[in-house]
Chain A
Amino acid sequence: MTVAMDGPPGVGATAQPAPAAVGLRRLEPGSLQLRRGPRGEVRLLLPDRCHLAVTLTRAFPLSRPGGWIAIRERDGAEVGLLPDGACLDPESRTCAEEELRLRYFTPTVTAILDIRDEVPGGRGGGAIWELETDRGPATLHMPNTNEHVQTLPDGRILLTDRAGNRYEIAGLGDLDPASRRRLAQFVWL
């Protein structure tokens, strides 16, 4: 997965401004800067003021990972919505990418080493997956393959485990044949 801001922003939304006075504020990428503070916090510099510690949240993490990023204060108060992260100045963009990469910890699966039944014989549906990911090796315990394997319209496959960890398979084509075969035993592709 590219955690970067490569998703298409809301193209249609740019044409029609949101209905006024509901409190959503649209931030123009040209008018803001994101910078790292000394302790690793993210600072938002706007023309009229500065927010010392903000968090970035994707509004559509699956369908538009790079578009519509909500910038909020630590306590949840929303500063505004950024329609497209790709239009930020390079330093802000790097800062945003880093922050999103940390907040959305979704390692990309590079190989599936093994999938085995949690209970010998396969009753109960639980499975243990041994993965190689771009962030290091990982083992996930999946209670069932039905609710925890989600295929997205663009071909990505999202895996979640019992503890709430998330992993992503960028596309079937990126996996070696052995990994694909192991996957096919447990998931309808």
Chain B
Amino acid sequence: MSGSEANSATILATADEARPPDAAQPAGAPATLCAAANLTEAGLYGRRWLVAEDGRLRVYGAGGRWPENLPRGPAAGAGPPWDGSHLLLAVPPAAAERTGPVFDLALSEVRGARVEPLVGAATLLLETPAGPVPCIRFTPELSADFGLAARMIGALARGEPPRIDPRDLPQHCPRCGRRLQPGTRICPPCIDRGAVLRRLLGYAGPYRWKLAAVTALMLTGVALSLVPAQINRALVDDVLEPRRNLHLLGLLVLAMLGTQIAGRGLSVVQGYIGNSFGSRIVGDIRASLWGSLQRLSLGYFDKAQIGNLMSRVSQDTSRMQTFLTGSAQQFLVQAMQLLGVLAVMLAMNWRLTLVVLIPAPFTVVVSRAIWPRIRRLDRRLWHTVSRLNTVVNDALGGIRVVKAFGQEGREVARFGGVNGELVARNITVANMMSLFGPSFTFVAGFGTLLVWYFGGILVVHRHMDLGTLLAFATYLGMVLQPLTFGSRLITDLTTSITSAERVFEVMDTEPDVGEAAAPVAMPRIEGRVSFAGVEFGYVSHLPVLRDIDLDVAAGEMIGLVGHSGAGKSTMINLICRLYDAGVGTITIDGVDIRRIRQDDLRRQIGVVLQETFLFDGSIAENIAYARPDADPFEIMEAARIANAHDFILGKPEGYDTRVGERGMRLSGGERQRIAIARAILHDPRILILDEATASVDSETERQIQEAVGRLVRGRTTFAIAHRLSTLRSAHRLAVFDHGRIVEIGTHDALMDRRGVYYRLVKAQQDAHAAREVVVG
């Protein structure tokens, strides 16, 4: 497996924890398990330590300090692999620090343990012959830790090695040793901002000539922007004040025109180049992010939430774009302009320069104080707008329901409520802006008043020319501009670095379900599938499947039966290797599924899902999705076997009929038969059927069943059906209950047993009968 397995196990002993291991251990054997909790028995915040030692399980209150960062767990690459003999998630408190124990139970009385989630808290429950016993309490962020502790307790109680996937052990920042949030490898305090920026700028590599051109244009632009004030000065000092040199007037005005044209022209060209280059860089980043997302395994998408990922693809990249095309360029221009203007001003009159810069720090302070407030208000306003949108969306999407229940009046009132709120908040925000804008301009403009006063004195005493004073005033305006925007630009920089980090994090994530180091090529799978002691949970401390042992012969059809949520779909996900089981092994033809070359595996497993997903395209393209090189005859043959050929030819555009987004233009039965045709063309050795018949009329159902019957022949098949009657053709049925296989056998054998399966069948027959009564 991946490098994370090469973990060190001696979890203790970081330099900063600075507690010698022998001091942490009281007399007797060292603790085999220690975890820290943060709630007391009375439900207050407080420290509690769960320790397994001397064959007993104890909870101590301790006077010791709460480990600021829970001690270093297996950090990547250091030490020998975890041997499972110890699980120290916290530093066991030294004997002198211990108070209690407040809980004490012999391990021999414990059969197992599990985390029971409460509301806003959770409990570790110990299974004892006398029933479950609550042992220690904690807030939800510690659930994962105690999930591991529960497994360790189970292992200690049974005297077996713990069934813990090393990847579930807490990960620590290799640099500072802080514990990382599950599912991320980023340690926020340790981010090297410079490195992120360098990587971001690395994407500019291919466009370096454009970058150079933009920089050159910027410099020229800044130089040009300094010229008009000098022309003004000459105009006043040499023409207007002496009231002569009329020949110069025309020249100076022409020069002004020239600089205007050149300056504006330059900024247009600079904008063009800058825009194309910023957008392309972000385009490159977005494409590479999308590539990374497609490569990642399904487990990542469960943990990451789709909405979050969508915002990374769209929002974060667009923030980076705003930065690269807007803020970054603006920032450079402003910074260069600031330097240029200051240089010219100092050259003209350094004393006056120092005087007029007095208000500058204030502007910076004021803008730093005001911007976050305005931004916060703005964000809250945005949320109110989005709530209004939700109301509209809701009511329009559910318009049939609204009409059917005659609730139009209520919807109008609901909209009115949110609308009124929005109006009030809009006014608040607008008022704030109206107040802040002018106050800000006032502070920023204060320097100009100083120029007029002190400069005026200088001019009256003839220490300075009038033109110089005017030029000074103009330059001053140019200094204040970058200062006022400066702090906002810095925030922009911070946020785009954050966005860049989030994007790079996705790019850097290794897929959990990776290709083995030396994958086994299996050009033709026979189809023997076996599960041995498999345990799996989407979140490690809440197992969905437990103790799964199942051997399936090649070509056998196994029906998976059970209530929804019993673990049937999870079984399917494991067979397809959308996830890897943390504990136990799954083999195909005797080879561990994790070692089989992924291409070979994917090519020989076919899936017909409950929700058949068709892509927008023609029927032919959808049938050939897994084998784009299939020739038209093969496609039609597959459709024929799937009983789809006739209805497809009945359509005016035949196999070229577009199915519409998600196949919306086809009926449910048509979509299913196309999905079956797709699986037939794919010709898998192992087939997964997830409730292949749903709500269709009986003739269509007969056709689908017939198609499924042909599809199944000669392949190992796992079939989930909620209607048990559709599983008649299965060789054996595996009955799932609360994540375990509780019964296995043929339909008849299971009916004779009068167990879980029997009750399921009876319940379904009753429901069916009830429906017939209602309908008939």
A interface list, Cβ under 8 A from B: 39-41, 52-53, 61, 74, 101-107, 117, 119-125, 133, 135-138, 144-146, 163-166, 185-188
Assess whether B131 is in contact with A52, with CB atoms less than 8 Å apart. yes
Assess whether B495 is in contact with A165, with CB atoms less than 8 Å apart. no
Assess whether B131 is in contact with A166, with CB atoms less than 8 Å apart. no
Looking at A52, A105, A107, A185, the one whose CB has the most chain B CB atoms below 10 A away is: A105
* A76 closest partner in B (C-beta): B738
A-side contacts of B372, CB under 8 Å = 117, 121-122
A interface majority secondary structure: loop
Assess whether B380 is in contact with A145, with CB atoms less than 8 Å apart. yes
- The reply to whether the CB of B119 lies closer than 8 angstroms to some CB of chain A is yes
B-side contacts of A52, CB under 8 Å = 131
- The reply to whether the CB of B141 lies closer than 8 angstroms to some CB of chain A is yes
Assess whether B134 is in contact with A105, with CB atoms less than 8 Å apart. no
Assess whether B140 is in contact with A164, with CB atoms less than 8 Å apart. yes
Separation in Å of the A148 CB from the closest CB of chain B? 11
Q: How many residues from B make CB contacts under 8 Å with A?
A: 35
Bound-complex Cα distance A145 to B377 (A): 12
**Cβ 8 A contact of A146, one of B46, B131, B140, B380:** B380
**Cβ 8 A contact of A163, one of B39, B134, B140:** B140
Assess whether B43 is in contact with A102, with CB atoms less than 8 Å apart. yes
B-side contacts of A102, CB under 8 Å = 43, 118, 121, 123, 137
Contact A123 B498, CB 8 Å, known A104-B118, A188-B380: yes
Bound-complex Cα distance A150 to B69 (A): 31
**Cβ 8 A contact of A74, one of B132, B373, B495:** B132
* A125 closest partner in B (C-beta): B379
Assess whether B141 is in contact with A103, with CB atoms less than 8 Å apart. no
Assess whether A101 is in contact with B43, with CB atoms less than 8 Å apart. yes
Assess whether B131 is in contact with A121, with CB atoms less than 8 Å apart. no
B interface majority secondary structure: mixed
B-side contacts of A120, CB under 8 Å = 491, 494
B-side contacts of A104, CB under 8 Å = 118-120
Separation in Å of the B142 CB from the closest CB of chain A? 9
Bound-complex Cα distance A136 to B47 (A): 11
Assess whether A188 is in contact with B425, with CB atoms less than 8 Å apart. yes
**Cβ 8 A contact of A136, one of B44, B128, B498:** B44
B-side contacts of A74, CB under 8 Å = 131-132
Contact A123 B375, CB 8 Å, known A40-B134, A163-B139: yes
- The reply to whether the CB of B602 lies closer than 8 angstroms to some CB of chain A is no
Which 7 pairs of residues, A with B, have the shortest CB-CB distance? Answer: A136-B45, A105-B121, A121-B491, A163-B141, A164-B140, A166-B120, A123-B495
Assess whether A105 is in contact with B118, with CB atoms less than 8 Å apart. yes
Pairs A–B under 8 Å by Cβ, sample size 30: A39-B130, A40-B134, A53-B132, A61-B119, A101-B43, A102-B43, A102-B123, A103-B118, A104-B119, A107-B45, A119-B494, A119-B498, A120-B494, A121-B491, A121-B494, A122-B375, A122-B376, A123-B498, A133-B45, A135-B44, A135-B45, A136-B46, A144-B383, A146-B380, A164-B120, A164-B139, A164-B141, A166-B119, A166-B120, A188-B425
Assess whether B133 is in contact with A40, with CB atoms less than 8 Å apart. yes
Separation in Å of the A188 CB from the closest CB of chain B? 6
Bound-complex Cα distance A103 to B288 (A): 46
B interface list, Cβ under 8 A from A: 39, 41, 43-46, 118-121, 123, 128, 130-134, 137, 139-141, 371-373, 375-376, 379-380, 383-384, 425, 491, 494-495, 498
Assess whether B131 is in contact with A53, with CB atoms less than 8 Å apart. yes
**Cβ 8 A contact of B495, one of A101, A124, A135:** A124
A-side contacts of B139, CB under 8 Å = 105, 163-165
Assess whether A137 is in contact with B45, with CB atoms less than 8 Å apart. yes
Separation in Å of the B281 CB from the closest CB of chain A? 21
B-side contacts of A105, CB under 8 Å = 39, 43, 118-121, 139
Bound-complex Cα distance A185 to B132 (A): 46
Assess whether A41 is in contact with B132, with CB atoms less than 8 Å apart. yes
Bound-complex Cα distance A163 to B491 (A): 27
8 additional contacts (CB under 8 A) given A166-B119, A166-B120: A41-B131, A41-B132, A41-B134, A61-B119, A121-B491, A136-B45, A163-B140, A164-B139
Bound-complex Cα distance A104 to B118 (A): 7
**Cβ 8 A contact of A165, one of B120, B373, B425:** B120
Bound-complex Cα distance A47 to B128 (A): 27
A-side contacts of B140, CB under 8 Å = 163-165
* B428 closest partner in A (C-beta): A188
Assess whether B119 is in contact with A103, with CB atoms less than 8 Å apart. yes
B-side contacts of A136, CB under 8 Å = 44-46
Contact A121 B383, CB 8 Å, known A103-B118, A105-B118, A105-B139: no
B-side contacts of A40, CB under 8 Å = 41, 133-134
A-side contacts of B118, CB under 8 Å = 102-105
* A167 closest partner in B (C-beta): B120
A-side contacts of B494, CB under 8 Å = 119-121, 123
* A106 closest partner in B (C-beta): B120
Bound-complex Cα distance A40 to B105 (A): 14
Assess whether A135 is in contact with B375, with CB atoms less than 8 Å apart. no
Assess whether B495 is in contact with A119, with CB atoms less than 8 Å apart. yes
A-side contacts of B128, CB under 8 Å = 39
Bound-complex Cα distance A188 to B378 (A): 12
Bound-complex Cα distance A38 to B121 (A): 22
